[in-house]
Structure 1
């Protein structure tokens, strides 16, 4: 009986799975988990499915294609990794799982912590400040490339320089770009820029610090504090072109310009000679066109001036003719002005006659007489109509007046109440024997005492109505 009346909440399997998933995702929005990869599967969809385990437990993991294509190191069974992701529940099977968005080998964690610590320290010191950044020379003549002499990055750089600026002088300062010797060789090459030997000719205008892509361990030489300070102390602008576009090093922050790849760094430094050739051809054509236009315009102006240049005697004759024309025009203008003034004087005289006071007074007197006649006739009509209406109202009032009724021998019986007429008696119920009443007649009033009250049975109902 207790179970029948118990108040309980019942979930469907889907509802419970969804609720658990929400709780997990809310409680663990983003976590780092370290372990060993096993049971790695890569279906045709491109997603990665694997198990992350240690000696005591394991957890299923999924990393979808839009995230795993950003991972630099392809995972494999047995690899020790650090995985960043969010805890969730795969509701279709009820599996507790980790949705990964980043994977890195386990050793990278300490390196990244050291990277961040050095980055913050140098940033506070001001080595990353925008004010320290120097612009690259617009037309460099000598570039120093600090890179491995056998790396693919150098071949790409040389190819770009040959294509864009064949006349640009390029000096290679070979250096190891990873390993134990890299730090000392990189610092020595950067220091050589500031103390360039005179026997080697003019010093470089700009430095390209470059190497190809790799893991964080491979690029670690460019995250060393001594190398970063050598870049900051370099006497000429430095372009950092280390790794691929997604690789970021401390040297990228310290350098004057960062390039996503070595090839891109070379393109930033070397002006494209083909573009200059095209621009020069365009300028040459524009200059030739401008010069030809100037010659044409000068010739046209000269021809026009030559046509305008005439014999002075002809000029004097033309001027004399213009004087005669002007004299005739002045005479015609004076005569026309005189005619207009005379016409205007006649019009003013006519207007003055129309506005003379005598004429205006006569016209106003005639109008006043006409208006007086109209007013008199209208007043008589309105007065006659008013008299007629007053007579009709008087007859109507006389017909309904009580005084007219009294003149025919009737009387108005009233109960005295202090007013002139008192309270009219229109029902026998208003008085009793012995009451004093007043009878109003045509020429006065009479006081009477009620001696008897006799209602009319046949008309009582009508009176009551």
Structure 2
């Protein structure tokens, strides 16, 4: 490297570099010395920007080394870089002049032991196993031929196509797909929601409830399959009331959902094979069973026929059996004829006796006897009626003689009581008082006025005299007119009663002052 020509002679022979020249010299030296290295460490910070490159830190207990994985290498890595994973990174060292730091450009990564991620997985497996989530007695048997199969997987991957194709080849069934992500941060929650969602469907509802669930994903790295190691997925699988098959990854891949599921399939295609039998094999088996059943029934029928023929040869001829019965029938007929004749005689004698008894009790005889009895009763009734009539007449004659006198006495007493009541009414009536020259003061409603204050308060009232004549009177305040002569009784009355003026009378002309 040539020094800058213009330099101060006082500095001697010390060369002078620009920043870029010095950074370039350091870069060449580092790349020459460490052109190919393998570094072991634990992955710390991991960053994945939109460019597709991966930036990370490799660290141990004393130092940290920055690293970068270019986009093309990042897509080809078998082991995806995750924080906490202990790895061996292969690449080359270089410098980044823009920040004056050195870093390793990683070309490949391979696991370097269990690491923090594997240790976390093992610890989780032990903890869940201790809770009994992986026990064999929790495993449920798979249905032989489910009507509905629920599949929890990505709807756009090759996995669902493989499952549907395999089911169609073996035994077509109704398939429900619960679309989820199978990789990334939200994949675990979506898979658990799919399992619980299928279990929450009501039997006989609008959406049929699956008889079997398949959780499927294709192969990938430990990091890609990590959502199926999450506790939420494992617990949803263990709590599923519907039998569940796990088909995650390839045959060599193992996740925690495999321990909690009722059956682990090595591949999604194998899960479809475990889910349903081969329809053609079932048809062949049914046909074979039908053929065997037909042969067995045919043999049983032929054997029964042979047994019947053997039994028929051992039986006697029907004619011989009937001869004995015919003879017995003839003997019984003769006995029956004799018994019939004796029975007829016995019944004839009994009928003769009954006829005599019946003649004595015939309706004509009964009517004649009843008529005689009625005639006797009629005669007795006539005699008793004449006797009763004469007795009643003798008892009523004295009563008939006394009745006019009693009626006359009742009328006289009633007339006396009426006269007494009339005299008492006339004595107590106010009209007798009016006949003696008195008058009755009445208010506007026709009720008597009982005091001078009431007459003064009324202002106008009526005076009723004998003969039902009334005079309307109006009260007048002030002294009496001069020259009026009053009787001593009238003077005394004038001191107590108000002065009045007559305004009219019924049945005559107007009248002046009354008092």
Q: TM-score range by the shorter chain?
A: 0.3 to 0.5
Look at both structures and tell me which one has the larger radius of gyration over its CA atoms.
Answer: 2
TM-score (normalised: structure 1): 0.45
